Amino acid sequence: MTKRSALSCCFVLGAMLVATNLLASTFVPPARGSAGSAAMLGAATAASMGAAPAFADEIGDAAKKLASASYPFVKSVDWTSGLALTNPGKASAADWTKAIAKAIDMGAAMDSSLLKAGTEAHHKAIGSMDAKLVTSQADYEGTIAALGRMIASVPESKTMAVYNEFGKLVDPAVPKYLMSSVNEADAKAAYSALMEFKDVVKAHPITAKTGAAPANPKLDAAAGKLADASYNFVKEIDWSSNLAAQKSGFSGSPAEIMKAIDKAIVMGGAMDGGALKEAALAHVKAIEGMDAKGVATKADYQATLAGLGKAIASVPSSMTMDVYNSFGKVVDPKVPNYLMSSVNAEDAKAAYQGLMEFKDVVKAR
């Protein structure tokens, strides 16, 4: 583990959730009615969290049909646009965080083997992207099938919770605006096929299985020590800021940023399922208990550190370094100094020192 690896993973997750939510809005209106429409948004927001291989033939067959019907639409989307980093409404950072918590909770309920297989499908799809960031139809089909099986492994209520929560935050004008940027007939064909796919997924539920996180008393104690050293720093951060969604913070191209995200996906896919679930649920609890400034309680913050530590400890150090190095290449070098200027330098240094000690415990497994 390195000094910014855990933070990088959090940024990756947040960025993917925002991007996929806006994509879903293209032909899924923010109304909160049927479970059918909910399937699309559930699939989108969970995309960063994985799926599975040919587990149920019906879902695989339906994925093939959906891929064929929607691929022209996929090719018409400008995947290099920074639009996904724009707030599609007037919701606050706290509102978006609460919606993200619903997506994290949904991901935590998914079968761990399906999560792993889903990351592999996404990794393969990123590998076949063209200059416009469009994957091959075959790999696109693979990700759809993976997402379908992943969604099939959670209760419908969790999918609906994600759809409803994000639906509250998206301005009703957004779907029309996004529709204007693509071929309307292609978008409608994609939506119709999506509704058929949703019915197949709903009709073929999969029982989720995930083991418990491995016990690690030393890491739990180290998380407590890091929480003590860094909580003052955490309280000083302006969590209502939209800085994390600013393009100016990146110096790499969309393709380079996507490759960095791919490294994080590969790392996530290699993590122990039980540890990943523990970390996810710790984040959900922390978000539920945050104050008006978006700050979690110290106890909940400590639990998220322990969860992240166990998840990162379950993968080879080389994977963590791949994530760190890849994001280091696409983040503007000016960012660290700018961020340091916004907090108490002594508190930031104490947090960093605590993180370095925590890193050593994680690395030692």
Mean pLDDT on 352-360: 98
259 and 152 within one domain: no
Say yes or no: 61 and 191 in one domain: yes
Together in a domain, 179 and 270: no
Domain boundary among 203, 233, 265: 203
Task: Identify whether 126 is part of a domain.
Answer: yes
Structure tokens at 4: 């910014």
Q: DSSP states of 304-358 as a string?
A: HHHHHHHHHHTS-HHHHHHHHHHHHHHB-TTHHHHHHTTS-HHHHHHHHHHHHHH
User: Residue 195 sits in which domain range?
Assistant: 13-203
Tell me the pTM.
0.82
CA dist list (Å): 272 to 116, 166, 219: 9, 29, 15
Q: Are 245 and 281 within one domain? A: yes
Q: Which residues pair with 218 in a beta bridge?
A: none
**Is residue 41 located within the same domain as residue 180?**
yes
* Contact of 71 with 113, CB cutoff 8 Å: no
Instruction: Give the count of domains, the chain.
Output: 2
Q: What pLDDT sits at residue 27?
A: 33
187-196, 236-245, 310-319 — which is least confidently predicted? 236-245
Q: Who wins on pLDDT, 163 or 19?
A: 163
Question: 44: which 2 tokens?
Answer: 């989108």
* pLDDT-above-70 percentage for the chain: 85
Clarify whether residues 258 and 165 are in a common domain.
no
Q: Are 274 and 171 contained in the same domain?
A: no
Residue 8 domain flag: no
**Residue that finishes a domain, picked among 180, 203, 226:** 203
Query: Which residue among 203, 231, 257 closes a domain?
Result: 203
Q: Is residue 1 part of a domain?
A: no
Domain-located, residue 228: yes
Domain of 164, CATH number, reads 1.40.10.10
Is the domain of 50 the same as that of 127? yes
User: Looking at residue 16, what is its pLDDT?
Assistant: 34
CB 164 within 8 Å of CB 79: no
pLDDT digits (tens, 9 = 90+) for 190-229: 999 999 999 999 999 999 999 998 899 999 999 999 999 9
- Tell whether 254 and 139 lie within a shared domain: no
Mean pLDDT over residues 352-359, rounded?
98
Torsional sign, CA 309, 314, 316, 321: negative
